[in-house]
Amino acid sequence: MNKGSEFSRRGFLKTMAAVGAALTLNPTINKVSAANTVLNGSNDSVVKKDGMEYRVLGSGKAAMEVSALGLGCMGMNYNRSQSPDKKECIRIIHEAVDRGVTLFDTAIIYGPLRNELLAGEALAPYKGRVNLTTKFGHEVIDGKGTGRQDSSRATVRRYCEESLKRLRLDTIPLFYQHRFDPNTPVEEVAETMNELIREGKIQRWGMCEVSADTIRKAHAICPLTAIQSEYHLMHRLVEENGVLDTCKELGIGFVPYSPLNRGFLGGCINEYTVFDVNNDNRHTLPRFQPEAMRANTRIVNELQNFGRTRGMTSSQVALGWLLHKAPWIVPIPGTTKESHLLENLHTLAFNVTDSDWEALEMAVAKIPVVGDRYNAEQQKQVGY
Ligand X SMILES: NC(=O)c1ccc[n+]([C@@H]2O[C@H](COP(=O)([O-])OP(=O)(O)OC[C@H]3O[C@@H](n4cnc5c(N)ncnc54)[C@H](OP(=O)(O)O)[C@@H]3O)[C@@H](O)[C@H]2O)c1
- Helices of type H across the chain: 3-25, 86-98, 114-123, 153-167, 186-198, 212-221, 237-240, 243-250, 290-308, 314-325, 338-345, 354-365, 376-380
**Residue list 88-127, contact with ligand X (CB under 6 A):** 105
**Residue 124 in contact with residue 168, Cβ under 8 Å?**
yes
Residue from 54, 257, 328, 350 binding ligand X (CB under 6 A): 257
Among residues 80, 201, 204, 236, the one that binds ligand X under rule CB under 6 A: 80
Q: Which of 149, 258, 296, 347 binds ligand X (CB under 6 A)?
A: 258
Cβ-based nearer residue to ligand X, 223 or 266 = 266
Return the range that interacts with ligand X (CB under 6 A); candidates 86-94, 159-167, 261-269, 299-307: 261-269
| Integer Cα distance of 71 and 331 in angstroms | 8
Catalytic center residues: 110
Smallest separation, CB 232 to ligand X (Å): 7
Which one-letter DSSP state was computed for residue 372?
A: -
Using CA atoms, how far apart are residues 219 and 187, in angstroms rounded to an integer? 9
| Degrees, nearest 5: CA angle 135-248-49 | 75
Q: Does 347 bind ligand X (CB under 6 A)?
A: no
266 near ligand X, judged by CB under 6 A: yes
Closest approach, Cβ 125 to ligand X, in A, equals 21
Q: CA 200: distance to chain centroid?
A: 24
Q: Which stretch binds ligand X (CB under 6 A): 153-161, 295-303, 338-346, 363-371?
A: 338-346
Query: At a CB cut-off of 8 Å and minimum separation 6, what does 288 contact?
Result: 262, 264, 269, 275, 282, 371
The answer to whether residue 330 forms part of the interface with ligand X (CB under 6 A) is no
* Residue from 112, 320, 333, 383 in contact with ligand X (CB under 6 A): 333
- Contact with ligand X (CB under 6 A) among 69, 202, 208, 312: 208
Q: Is 182 helix (H, G, I), strand (E, B) or coil?
A: coil
Which helix (DSSP H) or strand (DSSP E) does residue 135 occupy?
strand 131-136
Under rule CB under 6 A, how many of the chain's residues touch ligand X? Answer: 28
Among the residue ranges 3-11, 36-44, 47-55, 71-79, the one whose residues contact ligand X (CB under 6 A)? 71-79
DSSP 3-state percent helix, strand, coil across the chain (nearest 5) = 45, 15, 40
Using the minimum distance from each CB to ligand X, give the nearer residue, 47 or 312.
Answer: 312
Q: Which ranges in 30-130 belong to alpha helices (H)?
A: 86-98, 114-123
Q: Which of 335, 349, 360, 369 is the binder for ligand X (CB under 6 A)?
A: 335
CB of 73 to ligand X, least distance (A): 6
Distance of closest approach, residue 40 Cβ to ligand X, in angstroms: 26
| Residue 322 to residue 357: CA distance in whole angstroms | 10
- The CA-based angle 264-7-60, given to 5 degrees, is 105
Q: Within 31-60, which residues bind ligand X (CB under 6 A)?
A: none
Stretch that binds ligand X, among 152-160, 191-199, 297-305, 337-345 (CB under 6 A): 337-345
Cα(309)–Cα(269) distance, integer angstroms: 22
Question: Which segment (121-129, 146-154, 162-170, 333-341) binds ligand X by CB under 6 A?
Answer: 333-341
Residues 217-236 that bind ligand X (CB under 6 A): 228
Minimum CB distance to ligand X, residue 10 (Å): 25
Contacts of 345 (CB under 8 A, 6+ apart): 29, 52, 69, 96, 99, 100, 101
Binding site for ligand X (CB under 6 A): 72-75, 80, 105, 178, 208, 228, 257-263, 266, 268, 315, 332-337, 340, 343-344
